Amino acid sequence: MECKIVTIPGDGIGPEIVREACKVLDQAGRVYGHTFSYQEILMGGCSIDAHGVPLTQEALQTAKEADAVLLGAVGGNVGNSRWYDVAPDLRPEAGLLAIRKGLNLFANMRPAYLYRELADACPLKKEIIGDGFDMVIMRELTGGLYFGERRTREVDGQLQAVDTLTYSEHEIRRIAVKAFDIAAKRRCKVTSVDKANVLDSSRLWRKVVEQVAEEYPQVTLEHMLVDNCAMQLVMNPGQFDVILTENMFGDILSDEASMITGSIGMLSSASMNETKFGLYEPSHGSAPDIAGKDVANPIATILSAAMMLRYSFDLDREAEAIEAAVQQVLTEGYRTVDIMAEGCIQVGTARMGDLIAEHIKTPGGEYDEK
């Protein structure tokens, strides 16, 4: 298979971690007989420096023509970078919003998985962690409260602010379909999270999700109120497979879910449109404090590349080979400094990339010695 990937290294540690993800993709391609070609575009602070804007129309067009996009991260030191004191639409992060909008990426997928080897970093008690957890939060990304009409006005001498939360059947259906598709590739359970005891938008959400569920008899659907879900995440995280929810609930719950894994450098994410096209990126930012020092953890970006193989290219076996390589490298005790623990072997960004690439097994279950 030949796949055209647009890479966006971005700012800070972005170039270092994207380099390692491409290294791992190339090795998976070599072992399994695929060719990945890369075209790099600028986004974020580096694009502002080169072109005066965080994302040019040409760069966006190039991304549109790719099979998938792999992003590092954008942005400088918060409060202390040359890109901070500028108009909001000229800041590095405006590039992110522009590319999400330009590519119509309405579905955001964030896995939260607890590696046994990193369980000590999890803030939950051992009896709650149990056998660990492995969930995906599927969050609607382009509708709801963050995109509704808003205004602030004076009423009877008092300022009054109004935000509106709107969802159409179409917006709910397309994200629900994504969630059920993903669940069908996993443990076949969807927990749809809403506030249907109060909100009309949540009642519509429930109704449409139930309609979509009829098309997936192999997937179990349960509904959960968002306040209960926030509690269940820290009381019994192992119960979840795919959590499906709207924009603001997903914003909050996905941060909660990532916190309980205990390690920001390990968390991948994908944003997808109605086709198989997706933008894959780590959940963390550009970490300017450690940029250029060969200490950043590249695993979140490498796992994002594995998600790209699974969800954009249907290369499930290859994605599993990368995930198994990450697991094996951790089992052998290799750690970047952010996840370092007593008795382990500390390695830098590039060495971690090398190790994961070297641990990709052939379809026959052997290591490729070349």
Nearer to ligand NAD, 319 or 339 (CB): 339
Largest CA distance in the chain: 76
Of the residues 32, 38, 84, 146, which is catalytic? Answer: 146
Nearer to ligand NAD, 196 or 302 (CB): 302
Nearer to ligand NAD, 78 or 159 (CB): 78
Residues 6+ apart with CB under 8 A from 64: 102, 103
Active site residue 255: yes
Question: How far is the C-alpha of 6 from the C-alpha of 106, rounded, in Å?
Answer: 19
Nearer to ligand NAD, 148 or 348 (CB): 348
Question: How far is the C-alpha of 36 from the C-alpha of 322, rounded, in Å?
Answer: 15
Would you say 302 and 27 are in contact if contact means Cβ atoms under 8 Å apart? Answer: no
Of the residues 120, 227, 314, 316, which is catalytic? Answer: 227
Query: What is the secondary structure of 299-340 as a DSSP string?
Result: HHHHHHHHHHHHHTT--HHHHHHHHHHHHHHHHTTEE-GGG-
Provide, rounded to whole angstroms, the least separation between the CB of residue 55 and ligand NAD: 12
Active site residue 241: no
Tokens describing residue 37:
């070609």
Active site residue 251: yes
Would you say 109 and 138 are in contact if contact means Cβ atoms under 8 Å apart? Answer: yes
Of the residues 134, 251, 338, 354, which is catalytic? Answer: 251
Provide, rounded to whole angstroms, the least separation between the CB of residue 240 and ligand NAD: 24
Provide, rounded to whole angstroms, the least separation between the CB of residue 34 and ligand NAD: 26
Rounded to 10°, the helix 169-184/200-213 angle is 50
Provide, rounded to whole angstroms, the least separation between the CB of residue 117 and ligand NAD: 16
Amino acid identity at 247: N
Nearer to ligand NAD, 78 or 155 (CB): 78
Nearer to ligand NAD, 294 or 368 (CB): 294
Nearer to ligand NAD, 181 or 338 (CB): 338
The residues with which 279 forms a beta bridge, in sequence order, are 69, 271
Alpha-carbon Rg for the chain, nearest whole angstrom, is 21
Closest by Cα among 263, 229, 12, 306 to 120: 263
Question: How far is the C-alpha of 270 from the C-alpha of 280, rounded, in Å?
Answer: 4
Of the residues 49, 120, 255, 314, which is catalytic? Answer: 255
The residues with which 159 forms a beta bridge, in sequence order, are 154
Question: How far is the C-alpha of 81 from the C-alpha of 63, rounded, in Å?
Answer: 27
Provide, rounded to whole angstroms, the least separation between the CB of residue 337 and ligand NAD: 7
Question: How far is the C-alpha of 133 from the C-alpha of 209, rounded, in Å?
Answer: 24
For residue 163, the SS3 value is strand
Question: How far is the C-alpha of 175 from the C-alpha of 180, rounded, in Å?
Answer: 9
Provide, rounded to whole angstroms, the least separation between the CB of residue 211 and ligand NAD: 33
Provide, rounded to whole angstroms, the least separation between the CB of residue 98 and ligand NAD: 12
Return residues touching ligand NAD (CB under 6 A): 13, 73-76, 78, 93, 96, 264-265, 281, 284-290, 296-297, 300, 338
Closest by Cα among 136, 143, 172, 174 to 275: 174
Residues with a catalytic annotation lie at 146, 195, 227, 251, 255
